[in-house]
């Protein structure tokens, strides 16, 4: 699983330990034992695990800067890569790209959709070729076409009467109750 995570997301091999830790963490929370129908976490803690906080490995994420010397116009976040979960707390492990260091923090926003949209962009289908749409009309549609022709003829007749009354300047007023 760890090898797949590294290869799929094209990470260097020096992140192998982080990938193995993340793979073990997720498998302990999700894989069921055959005879007990419980996960390792459930057997150890006697309660069902929560996986609401699981994130996609190597997703782009943003870490909140909470330094005291943060300038007035400086960015409040640093961009990083999500590389797993902390073993000590509920924090995420983030590799910060600018400083090239690993940080564990709970103040992280993970962009799971960014990694999916990047994969979808690579798999886009080229639809630049001309596409010819062929439609067959059913019996109901053929009948409705005949009705439309009759309506058009009626509208033309109404327009003709209106035009002729405009020419002779003859208007009839009706009272509306």
The whole-number pLDDT of residue 55 equals 82
The whole-number pLDDT of residue 3 equals 64
Q: Using DSSP, state whether 32 is helix, strand or coil.
A: strand
In a domain, 153, yes or no: no
In a domain, 23, yes or no: yes
Of 84, 98, 109, 93, the closest CA to residue 5 belongs to 84
The whole-number pLDDT of residue 117 equals 46
In a domain, 64, yes or no: yes
The whole-number pLDDT of residue 121 equals 45
In a domain, 46, yes or no: yes
Q: Give pTM, 2 decimals.
A: 0.52
- What's the number of CA atoms in the CB half-sphere (13 Å) around residue 113? 1
In a domain, 78, yes or no: yes
Domain hosting residue 28, numbered range: 2-117
CA dist list (Å): 106 to 40, 56, 76, 155: 25, 16, 15, 70
Profile the chain (177 residues) by mean pLDDT over runs of 10 residues: 65 73 75 79 83 79 80 83 84 87 87 58 46 50 64 69 64 61
In a domain, 160, yes or no: no
The whole-number pLDDT of residue 162 equals 67
Give the number of domains in the chain.
1
Backbone φ, ψ for residue 102 (5° rounding): -95, 135
What's the rounded Cα separation, in Å, for the pair 106 and 66?
12
In a domain, 94, yes or no: yes
In a domain, 128, yes or no: no
């Amino acid at each position: 699983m760890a090898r797949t995570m590294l290869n799929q997301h094209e990470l260097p091999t020096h992140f192998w330990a982080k990938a193995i830790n993340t793979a073990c963490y997720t498998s302990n929370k999700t894989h069921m034992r055959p005879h007990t129908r419980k996960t390792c976490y459930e057997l150890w803690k006697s309660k069902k695990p929560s996986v609401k906080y699981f994130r996609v490995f190597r997703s782009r994420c943003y870490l909140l800067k909470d330094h005291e010397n943060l300038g007035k116009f400086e960015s409040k976040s640093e961009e990083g890569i999500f590389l797993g979960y902390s073993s000590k707390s509920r924090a995420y492990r983030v590799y910060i790209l600018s400083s090239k260091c690993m940080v564990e923090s709970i103040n992280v926003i993970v962009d799971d959709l960014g990694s999916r949209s990047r994969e979808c962009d690579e798999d886009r289908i080229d639809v630049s070729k001309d596409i010819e749409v062929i439609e067959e009309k059913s019996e109901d549609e053929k009948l409705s076409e005949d009705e439309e022709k009759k309506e058009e003829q009626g509208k033309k007749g109404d327009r003709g009467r209106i035009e002729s009354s405009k020419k002779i300047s003859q208007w009839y007023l009706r009272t509306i109750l």
